[in-house]
Amino acid sequence: MQIKLSSPLDMHLHLRDADMLKTVAPLSSYGFAGAIIMPNLVPPVTTTEALLAYKDRILSSTCRDKFEPLMTLFFKNDYSYEFLKKAKKHIFALKLYPSGITTNSDGGVSSMDIDLLRDTFETMSELNIPLLVHGETNGFVMDREMEFGSVYEQFASNFPNLKIVMEHITTAHSASLLDKYENLYATITLHHLLITLDDVAGGMLSPHLFCKPIAKRPEDRDALLKLALSAHPKVMFGSDSAPHPVDKKESCGCAAGVFTAPIALQALAMLFEKHKSLDKLQAFISDNARKIYGYKPIEKEVILENIPFTVPKSYKDVVPMFSAEKLPWSIKSVL
Ligand code: DOR
Ligand code: ZN
């Protein structure tokens, strides 16, 4: 059997820089037509010059493929109207991190007080620049996303013309917000559709499944599955593939992030097939994102076939999800 996917999109991707970029970028650009690139480099991407230079480095690492990097700026509250107006043609969205909440987010926002954020949010609304949010508080780790829910609600209700994407949602509560606010959307990762906290820490600790937000309860995963498998029109695939070198994962003080880029399409086919929902995969992997963002991707046709794919143990020094395991689907061709 074969599955044809037209212009798969990854609406949340970490590509890093330098050697790591050269290792991981081609693994995304092979099967995906485009991806939203996260700006949490060190230092974060906060200027048009840095963004364009980073985009060039991405394009040189992906030059063998048809692939469009959709660039984001690291959200700062002091971007002026003039700056954003000029930068707009180069940026796809702004990514807001609460300060210190995850990898390289120290320069993020320290208060979610909407009076402090108002000017920037109004500018973004007027210029039609989407706001992508890592929605966690610094509370108890299992409750962080749920606690952030009221912030999402305030953002969405006070700025109805601002397109807000709840990135990598992990809870049934976040899922429930989608139908409450017209301007709220979400990305869902592959790993949060597959695992719960049990897979991370229920037996032997699995550092390669440790990420932020941490995987939650079975009922949360079920709520995410329901959205993805029905291709709810307000959700999109965003892998949050976040590579770290093996010595930063298998170490005391494990870095957060699951590396899924090279196995995402194959594993999604496995998951959607298991749930008899293959007919919904195209919407989840591309069509919903096109509609939500009003974006027309580069044309690319990916054929998957049900011939087993043995996942490499590692890609240079990065260990992927399903390392050394067999997945039932492989990529047959990309045109
Ligand atoms: O697990 C994560 N890793 N979550 C994030 O939000 C950031 C990412 C990274 O950049 O490593
Ligand atoms: Zn991320």
- Specify the pLDDT at position 290: 98
**What is the distance in A from the centroid of ligand 1 to the CA of 212?**
6
In which element (H, E) is residue 247 found?
A: helix 246-249
Q: Exposed (0-12), middle (13-18) or buried (19+): which is 207, by Cβ within 10 Å?
A: middle
Q: Residues 151-157: what's their mean pLDDT?
A: 98
Q: Are 58 and 14 in contact (CB under 8 A)?
A: no
As a whole number of angstroms, the distance between CA 262 and CA 75 comes to 28
Active site residues: 240
Q: Ligand nearest 210 Cα, by number? A: 1
Q: What pLDDT is stored for residue 216 in this prediction?
A: 98
**Helix, strand or coil for residue 323?**
coil
The whole-model pTM stands at: 0.98
Query: Within 13 Å of residue 14, how many CA atoms lie on the same side as its CB?
Result: 24
pLDDT in tens, 289-305: 999 999 999 999 999 99
| Pairwise CA distance, residues 235 & 284, whole Å | 7
pLDDT at 14: 98
Nearest to 294 by CA among 224, 236, 334, 231: 236
Distance separating alpha carbons of residues 261 and 322, to the nearest angstrom: 11
Q: At 126, is the pLDDT very low, low, confident or very high (cuts 50, 70, 90)? A: very high
Rounded to an integer, what distance in angstroms lies between the CA atom of residue 40 and that of residue 19?
16
Candidates 94, 11, 10; CA nearest to 45 is 94
20-24, 105-109, 195-199, 234-238 — which is least confidently predicted?
105-109
Cα(198) to centroid(ligand 1), Å: 19
CATH number for region 2-334: 3.20.20.140
Task: For residues 239 and 330, give the distance between their C-alpha atoms in angstroms, rounded to a whole number.
Answer: 18
**Confidence tier at 123 by pLDDT (50, 70, 90):** very high
Which run of H or E residues covers position 54?
helix 48-61
Reported confidence tier of residue 25, pLDDT bands at 50, 70, 90 = very high
* Number of the ligand 1 atom closest to the C-alpha atom of 134: 6
pLDDT tens, residue by residue, 33-75: 999 999 999 999 999 999 999 999 999 999 999 999 999 999 9
Cα 327 from Cα 190, distance rounded (Å):
14
**Cα 189 to the center of its chain, rounded Å:** 6
For ligand 1, mutation pick of 10, 13, 14 (most atoms within 8 Å of CB)? 14
- Residue boundaries of the structural domains of the chain: 2-334
Q: State the chain's mean pLDDT as an integer.
A: 98
pLDDT in tens, 265-291: 999 999 999 999 999 999 999 999 999
Q: CA-CA distances (angstroms) from residue 320 to 27, 219, 241, 312, 330?
A: 11, 26, 9, 8, 15
User: Of 271, 137, 264, 154, nearest to 212 (Cα)?
Assistant: 137
Residues with CB under 5 A from ligand 2 (ion): 240
**Model confidence band, residue 152 (pLDDT cutoffs 50, 70, 90):** very high
